[in-house]
Chain A
Amino acid sequence: MSDRIGVYVCECGPNIADKVDIKRILTEISDLNEPPEKIIIAKKHKLLCSKEGQDFLAGEIIENELTHLVIAACSPRDHDITFMNVCKRTDLNPYLYKLVNIREHCAWIIPDKDEATEKAIQYIRAGISRVTYQSPLTEKELDSIPDVLVIGAGIAGIEASLSLAGEKRKVYLVEKTSSIGGNVTRFEKILPHQGTNLDIIQEKIKTVQENENIKVFTETEVEKAIGFFGNFEITLKNIQDEEQKKEFKVGAIVVATGFNLFNPEKIPRYGYGKIEDIYTSMEIEESNSKTGKILLKSGKPPKSAALIHCVGREEKGYCSRVCCNYMFKIAQYLKEKTPAIKITEFYQDLCLPNKADQEFYVDTKNKGVDFICFKDIAVKQKDKDKFIEYTKMDGKKEKISAEMIILAPAIEPAVGSKDIAELLNISLDETGFFQEAHQKLNPIATSIDGVFIVGSAQNPKNIPDSMMDAQAVGGKILTQLIPGVKLVPEVIISEISDAFCTGCQTCLSVCSYGAIYFDEDRNISVVNEAICRGCGNCVASCPSGAAHAKHFTSLQIYQEVLEAIR
């Protein structure tokens, strides 16, 4: 059958009509007619994007039995989707259409009408040339599983599980330790209003345990996770008994692996581990929550305490965001227990980003806590006394003694983050935390569709922000993975030719989405159509020309360029 190509030039009111010679365009394009192989029908319309224009196009496609459609009008940013939808109304495959931009690229920028017209003709010829090499593409539909795997049963993982679990959606909550609750269960109170922590957290833990749609696995790790959004095959293994495995399928995975604390022994000037009565904030939290007391090694309550912020901040290269606030909280613990205690907080910058933080700081200060901004700081010991030697912002060196010293170590990515990243094929960024799909617009998603990161796995976070992430993952998954609704993967993707692939695996190393796997038996790379997003990395890097991007094949681009530069 011969190609029947319809070329429709939009006047866009005076926007195109006044600036290019449409009559000449139509004449010259009609001259490209080469029946019977290639029949070209060229017409104009006053406004193709209008409802009337769209109806006109649909009528033309049907009446002229068009096999290909070229529209010369505005930017694809404006109306590509509009005209693809017109194709869908008829039987014309929308990938057999091409929009040529003669408004922004010609009419609006070239003052000389003849010049603009010539360029427009050239572009339209390029469009015609390209469209005949385009292939029809069809959308596929994939079944999806609504269930979700949540890795890590800290506060973020617990809240995520609660946001997700429902009658039609099971949640598998996996925790490597023997109990759920995470770091939060080690605190006595929660910021900033000093409410008792345990009730709220215990309540959440209880709700998770009682929820019949949430299956909790403690002392368990994920051994395998293979698949794509809507369909991941998961294998869990029991840490104590590696033979004890569990296999199931889920549609999405939530990583809520939390954080670890920087080890202050790595910076000797803080004296941690060498000098008596120097503690990390977490040690104080635990002592307080277990015994209700904060005591010196001698068993006596301290008469003076120095709280040092920002331990490891410079070394890690980021501010851990939560330390300032929890150090105020610890100061308040101490003040409550021993009102006469002298407390000095040493800080570099007070980071108080939440709307109630500053009030909490002022409240702490008003309770008689001193604040000193330091440039340098070190802990020294002389006989039995401990000193903090510090340089203030004005350059003055001073020292004070303190019976107890409490350090706020930086928040680090959880131990094992690297293994999880490898397992799920997601990335860590230069700080070691999981990398988000987009820093601004997609902070809880990753480069792998269906794999999400919440809480301190993504960035050091306080409880409200971790909870917010956990609820946000509800927003993402509940809207994208609806029970009974099929998923439609990307249509414009890459494909690798069996015949040309030499098995060098270059493509595997450049694919950001983990969409390519290597078939050992056949010694070739294979694209997983459900995962590929059509970025073209593999196409550009394939040394043997085996990888092609559908709808952007070398041949299509070559034929388009050939006419454009003729």
Chain B
Amino acid sequence: MNNSDILIIGAGVAGIEASLLLADTGKKVYLVEKASLIGGNVIKYEDVFSNLECSTCMIAPKQQEVLQSENIELLTLSTIEKVQGEIGDFTVTINKKARYVSLVDCIGCGMCYEPCPVSLKNEFEQNLSEKKAIYVPCPGSLPNVPAIDPEHCLQLNGKKTCNACVEACAFGAINLSDKDEKIEIKVGAIIVASGFDIIDPAGFPQYGYGKHPNVYTAMEAERLYASNGPTEGEITLRKGDAPPKSIAIIQCVGREQQGYCSSVCCMYSLKLAHYLKHKLPDAKIYNFHSDWCMPGKHYQKFHRDVKEEGVNFIYSPVDKIKVEGNDKSLLIEYFNGKNEKEKLSADMVILSLAMIQGKDTASLSKLLGIEQDTKGFFMNQSIQLGSVDTSKPGIFLAGCAEGPKDIQGSITQAEAAVGKVMSYFQ
């Protein structure tokens, strides 16, 4: 039995790249994504480092291609439930949650949101804004078709009779009796591109996240700057009427605990500093860093450019930094390069947090029968030579599921995984 259909788990930038390359050859690709939209984390960024290209403009054509490809069967709101078999002959059971909105009939006009009486925190926006129980996570989501949150929809959770969205839809695209499905597929190979998560800042009380409202994660700052984000790109504070006049970015939060450098934080922290200088030219921007990790040929130039924009770089070990203060003002205690204690006040603090393995890594590794490394990411079979192979033939890795990477690294690894698949089925 040699089935040449492919399963790709995760529709971030790595999963999308792999799907498109394989679909181009006429192979059938099942692209399974747990969220209601595709694009992964890349679509959360306004610009990418270091060329500052608009991120959504860059990735949207690829997302469109996925949606239009005849060879890609996209399964959103879907997770893997069972995997059996071996290379050339895997049987996979997929749990596909009901979307309640037809991907075929909906045209994405958005008329259904307003009448929905339920308001919820929008996790895609790092809870910085609200969404309705029928929602797309942000403007520009692809597929541009909303989903209904069955736990909070009044009709679906049985709390009340409500038909507001159904009535508002001019296309009869909403079906509240939609059911979760189990789908069984047969594939010859699997590419795991399930991505990463960010370490929980609650584990680092010394930096004040959760205690002081104006301490933010870098991802929150990304969404604040994003033109399709919760503030449409305005840098506002959780507490306070005016935009911040001074902002401190603290790098390497969680690095020591995780035992590795996340390799992208220096660059995205520089990008955040650039964003803030651009939006708030008079604000003072401080960047607390230790060693700069700038492994790309253009990265050092970007570092220099951002410095020239007037960002203050402060060399300071992250483990000795403390953030105190109140709702209005934050006080950063740190040790400078001369190992002297200093203090600096700021209106806003941004934490650049370590990248960690995706939430589903442990469960997926069990389902797929592949190993994790000591850091929690999926283990590649040769750390010396570089590899997309897992401990199981026919299952390959791509992107941050294997370890922290930038977009370029994720794309390359996705192409390498496709290379392996193609060699096998050649």
Tell whether A and B belong to one assembly.
yes
Q: Which A residues form the contact surface with B (CB < 8 A)?
A: 12-15, 47, 49-51, 74, 77, 81, 163, 166-168, 190-193, 195, 200, 313, 317-319, 321, 347, 349-359, 362, 373, 393-395, 429, 431, 433, 439-444, 459-460, 463-469, 471-476, 478-480, 482
Choose among B64, B377, B416 the residue that contacts A355 (Cβ–Cβ < 8 A). B377
Q: List 22 A-B contacts (CB under 8 A).
A: A50-B105, A190-B384, A318-B296, A318-B297, A319-B295, A351-B294, A355-B404, A357-B261, A358-B260, A394-B338, A429-B297, A443-B411, A443-B412, A465-B386, A468-B416, A471-B388, A472-B419, A473-B419, A474-B415, A475-B21, A478-B423, A482-B25
Is there contact, CB below 8 Å, between B419 and A475? yes
List residues of chain A with CB within 8 A of the CB of B297: 318, 429, 431, 433, 459-460
Is there contact, CB below 8 Å, between B298 and A475? no
B109: interface (CB < 8 Å): yes
Is there contact, CB below 8 Å, between B373 and A355? yes
Is there contact, CB below 8 Å, between A468 and B377? no
List residues of chain B with CB within 8 A of the CB of A355: 260, 373, 375, 377, 403-404
State how many angstroms separate the Cβ of A504 from the closest Cβ of chain B. Answer: 33
B198: interface (CB < 8 Å): no
Choose among B294, B298, B384, B388 the residue that contacts A200 (Cβ–Cβ < 8 A). B384
B180: interface (CB < 8 Å): no
Is there contact, CB below 8 Å, between A349 and B292? yes
Known: A317-B301, A473-B419, A475-B419. A440 touches B292 (CB 8 A): no
Is there contact, CB below 8 Å, between B299 and A395? no
State how many angstroms separate the Cβ of B141 from the closest Cβ of chain A. Answer: 14
Known: A395-B338, A429-B297, A472-B416. A47 touches B107 (CB 8 A): yes
B53: interface (CB < 8 Å): yes
Query: Which 6 pairs of residues, A with B, have the shortest CB-CB distance?
Result: A464-B386, A474-B419, A475-B418, A13-B170, A472-B415, A475-B419
List residues of chain A with CB within 8 A of the CB of B339: 394
Is there contact, CB below 8 Å, between B418 and A479? yes
Is there contact, CB below 8 Å, between B383 and A49? no
A351-B293, A475-B414, A478-B422 known, 12 other contacts, Cβ within 8 Å: A190-B384, A318-B297, A355-B260, A355-B404, A358-B261, A359-B260, A439-B408, A441-B411, A443-B408, A471-B416, A472-B418, A474-B416
Is there contact, CB below 8 Å, between B408 and A468? no
Known: A319-B294, A350-B291. A440 touches B407 (CB 8 A): yes
B242: interface (CB < 8 Å): no
Tell me the number of A-to-B contacts counted with CB atoms below 8 Å: 210
| In the bound complex, CA of A92 to CA of B387 (Å) | 49
List residues of chain A with CB within 8 A of the CB of B109: 12-15
State how many angstroms separate the Cβ of A315 from the closest Cβ of chain B. Answer: 11
List residues of chain B with CB within 8 A of the CB of A362: 259
Is there contact, CB below 8 Å, between A353 and B295? yes
> How many B residues have CB within 8 A of the partner chain?
73
List residues of chain A with CB within 8 A of the CB of B255: 358
Is there contact, CB below 8 Å, between B299 and A349? no
B154: interface (CB < 8 Å): no
With a 10 A CB-CB cut-off, give which of A166, A353, A357, A362 has the most chain B CB atoms: A353
B66: interface (CB < 8 Å): no
Is there contact, CB below 8 Å, between A468 and B420? no
B204: interface (CB < 8 Å): no
Is there contact, CB below 8 Å, between A15 and B107? yes
State how many angstroms separate the Cβ of A222 from the closest Cβ of chain B. Answer: 24
Is there contact, CB below 8 Å, between B385 and A463? yes
| In the bound complex, CA of A557 to CA of B409 (Å) | 41
B184: interface (CB < 8 Å): no
State how many angstroms separate the Cβ of A15 from the closest Cβ of chain B. Answer: 5
| In the bound complex, CA of A192 to CA of B259 (Å) | 15
List residues of chain A with CB within 8 A of the CB of B124: none
| In the bound complex, CA of A353 to CA of B337 (Å) | 23
Is there contact, CB below 8 Å, between A442 and B301? no
Is there contact, CB below 8 Å, between B24 and A352? no
List residues of chain A with CB within 8 A of the CB of B299: 318-319
Interface string of B246-281 (1 = CB under 8 A from A): 000000000100011101000000000000000000
Choose among B50, B260, B413 the residue that contacts A357 (Cβ–Cβ < 8 A). B260
List residues of chain A with CB within 8 A of the CB of B315: 393
Known: A319-B294, A440-B58, A475-B21. A356 touches B383 (CB 8 A): yes
Is there contact, CB below 8 Å, between A13 and B383? no
Instruction: Considering the complex, give the chain B residue whose CB is closest to the CB of A319.
Output: B294
State how many angstroms separate the Cβ of A544 from the closest Cβ of chain B. Answer: 34
Is there contact, CB below 8 Å, between A14 and B111? yes
B51: interface (CB < 8 Å): yes
State how many angstroms separate the Cβ of B286 from the closest Cβ of chain A. Answer: 17
B152: interface (CB < 8 Å): no
| In the bound complex, CA of A51 to CA of B58 (Å) | 30
Is there contact, CB below 8 Å, between A200 and B385? yes
| In the bound complex, CA of A298 to CA of B296 (Å) | 40
Is there contact, CB below 8 Å, between A472 and B412? yes
List residues of chain A with CB within 8 A of the CB of B337: 393-395
| In the bound complex, CA of A319 to CA of B420 (Å) | 31
| In the bound complex, CA of A81 to CA of B68 (Å) | 8
List residues of chain B with CB within 8 A of the CB of A475: 18, 21, 414-422
Choose among B293, B386, B412 the residue that contacts A352 (Cβ–Cβ < 8 A). B293
Known: A440-B411, A464-B383, A475-B422. A318 touches B260 (CB 8 A): no
B215: interface (CB < 8 Å): no
| In the bound complex, CA of A493 to CA of B420 (Å) | 34
| In the bound complex, CA of A193 to CA of B385 (Å) | 11
Known: A192-B383, A393-B337. A351 touches B408 (CB 8 A): no
B365: interface (CB < 8 Å): no
Is there contact, CB below 8 Å, between B291 and A351? yes
Is there contact, CB below 8 Å, between A321 and B386? no
Is there contact, CB below 8 Å, between A439 and B415? no
List residues of chain A with CB within 8 A of the CB of B261: 352-353, 357-358
B62: interface (CB < 8 Å): yes
Is there contact, CB below 8 Å, between B21 and A468? no
List residues of chain B with CB within 8 A of the CB of A318: 294, 296-301
Is there contact, CB below 8 Å, between A459 and B259? no
B22: interface (CB < 8 Å): yes
B426: interface (CB < 8 Å): yes
Known: A353-B295, A355-B260. A468 touches B58 (CB 8 A): no
| In the bound complex, CA of A29 to CA of B298 (Å) | 54
Choose among B13, B295, B409 the residue that contacts A351 (Cβ–Cβ < 8 A). B295
Known: A14-B111, A475-B415. A163 touches B408 (CB 8 A): no
Is there contact, CB below 8 Å, between B403 and A317? no
| In the bound complex, CA of A357 to CA of B291 (Å) | 14
Instruction: Considering the complex, give the chain A residue whose CB is closest to the CB of B304.
Output: A317
List residues of chain B with CB within 8 A of the CB of A440: 48, 51, 53, 58, 406-408, 411
List residues of chain B with CB within 8 A of the CB of A474: 415-416, 418-420, 422-423
State how many angstroms separate the Cβ of A474 from the closest Cβ of chain B. Answer: 3
List residues of chain A with CB within 8 A of the CB of B420: 471, 474-475
| In the bound complex, CA of A49 to CA of B104 (Å) | 10
Known: A464-B384, A464-B385. A354 touches B25 (CB 8 A): no
Is there contact, CB below 8 Å, between B263 and A353? yes
| In the bound complex, CA of A350 to CA of B317 (Å) | 13
Is there contact, CB below 8 Å, between B260 and A468? no
| In the bound complex, CA of A317 to CA of B300 (Å) | 6
| In the bound complex, CA of A426 to CA of B62 (Å) | 25
List residues of chain B with CB within 8 A of the CB of A359: 259-260
List residues of chain A with CB within 8 A of the CB of B107: 12-13, 15, 47, 49, 74
Is there contact, CB below 8 Å, between A439 and B62? no
Instruction: Considering the complex, give the chain B residue whose CB is closest to the CB of A189.
Output: B384
| In the bound complex, CA of A319 to CA of B426 (Å) | 39
Known: A317-B300, A431-B297, A471-B416. A191 touches B260 (CB 8 A): no
CB within 8 Å of A: which B369-397 residues: 373, 375, 377, 382-388
